[in-house]
Amino acid sequence: MNPFPMVLADLRALRWTAPAIVLLVALAIATGVAIGAQERALRRGSAGAANDFDLIIGAPGSQTQLLMSAVYLQPDALPLVDGRLLNTLFKDERVAQAAAIAFGDVSRGYPIVGTTAAFAGRWGRIEPSEGRLFAAEGEAVIGADVLYRMSDTIVPSHGVAGHAARPGEADAEEDGHRHEGHGYTVVGRLPRLGSPWDRAILVPIESVWEVHGLGNGHASDAAKSDSPFWKQGSAGSGPAGAEDRIGPPFEGRRVPGVPAIVVKPKSVAGAYQLRTQYRQGGTMAFFPAEVLVSLYGALGDIRDILVVASALNTVLILASVLLLLLAVAGLRRRRYAVLRALGAPRSYVMLVIWLGQVALITLGCLIGLGLGALATKAVSGLVAERTGLLLSPAIGFGEVLPALGLALIGSLFALLPAALSYREPVVAGLRG
């Protein structure tokens, strides 16, 4: 037997109702798929952005706030730790690398982050895609998404806590807080990291200190304090002299404070020892993963609520679609009775009814997976635009399985109208 000509005729008889049913099921599926995939992508993307931040040390306060500021560059007014701690860390044999991270200034909405050249190169993990890393004060290396060109001069403005700047745009707030007389020259561009750091302007930490009149943390401090470094920098001429040496150690008499220090420990055991040690005595130390796990916990709870809500939503839609199809099968009693009178076995009519419904529900589930993937992509694009966090959402087994399960359950329930037709006496159907 070949039920498909009748199945197609039945679907065509539904006219616009058929695509509407498919769309309803698809939207229900898409919601669930998007919630699941988006949450996972957000988790992966944010964990990926914290990759090079093994251990973070800062002044006591909120770990979350420090994490958001240092890793995700959502700046906040943070208490500072003594800059001399950097020197202690460099000497510590458990420490492979350490770098200060100082933020607060902006230019055209891009955060200006003071750090060491080593951390700008992510401990040697990445090479600039263009130019080189900064090697002297007054030089800057920019993230992949920063809209400055090589050799441009960047004038920093003092950031205002709580003022959310739009990347790429200078606004009145920024214009009003410009550090006049200071500037950086772009000497390099970093490859894409997929994190908010793609929108950052990285400069030597010494320059950030100097711009704020804190010296440069080196022994040459006194000698240099009167000559604006940026004139040398913007001229871009000649190799940096000995007195312009940047980077650790900071042997100056006075080393300015920093909001955050990133430490790359040599071993796991060392990492835990360091964390324990710097949890007391006026500092706070933590692994980003600790904070992320609790954030993910909250995120997961929200996800669970949304998933349950969307599952209920899906079940309701499926139930109403099945009721609708049951009613349609009832209206078609006569049509199916005629098939029987023409010699169709009961199984043929049952198959026609069942396959028609399965086609609608399954198609809806498949389109729903596609729509869900599209929605996830769109939301990820929004997240990337707002935070710089690169999300690579993927529809995984966890999303496909519920959709398939729903198609299966729908197919099982579609047996009901099919089975009712099986019991229907032909003569009653022929009378209408």
Residues that bind other proteins (CB under 8 A): 1-3, 5-6, 8-10, 12-13, 334-335, 338-346, 348, 426-427, 430
Q: Which two three-digit tokens encode residue 300?
A: 């997961």
> With respect to other proteins, which residue has the nearer C-beta, 297 or 343?
343
- HEC sequence for 3-51: CHHHHHHHHHHCCCHHHHHHHHHHHHHHHHHHHHHHHHHHHHHHHHHCC
> With respect to other proteins, which residue has the nearer C-beta, 236 or 345?
345
What number of CA atoms fall less than 13 Å from residue 301's CA on the CB side? 5
Q: Where are the beta strands (DSSP E) in 68-129?
A: 95-107, 110-115
In angstroms, what is the minimal distance from the CB of 9 to other proteins? 4
Task: Give the C-alpha distances (Å, rounded to integers) separating 144 from 72, 115, 192.
Answer: 15, 17, 5
Residue type, 58: G
Q: Which two three-digit tokens encode residue 310?
A: 């969307």
What number of CA atoms fall less than 13 Å from residue 172's CA on the CB side? 0
In angstroms, what is the minimal distance from the CB of 312 to other proteins? 36
Using CA atoms, how far apart are residues 78 and 283, in angstroms rounded to an integer? 13
| SS3 of residue 204 by DSSP | strand
In angstroms, what is the minimal distance from the CB of 193 to other proteins? 57
> With respect to other proteins, which residue has the nearer C-beta, 14 or 366?
14
> With respect to other proteins, which residue has the nearer C-beta, 1 or 80?
1
In angstroms, what is the minimal distance from the CB of 297 to other proteins? 55
Q: Facing residues of 288 across strands?
A: none
> With respect to other proteins, which residue has the nearer C-beta, 10 or 137?
10
Using CA atoms, how far apart are residues 94 and 301, in angstroms rounded to an integer? 37
> With respect to other proteins, which residue has the nearer C-beta, 338 or 415?
338
> With respect to other proteins, which residue has the nearer C-beta, 181 or 345?
345
Unique residue bearing structure tokens 């090079």? 52
In angstroms, what is the minimal distance from the CB of 303 to other proteins? 44
Using CA atoms, how far apart are residues 382 and 143, in angstroms rounded to an integer? 19
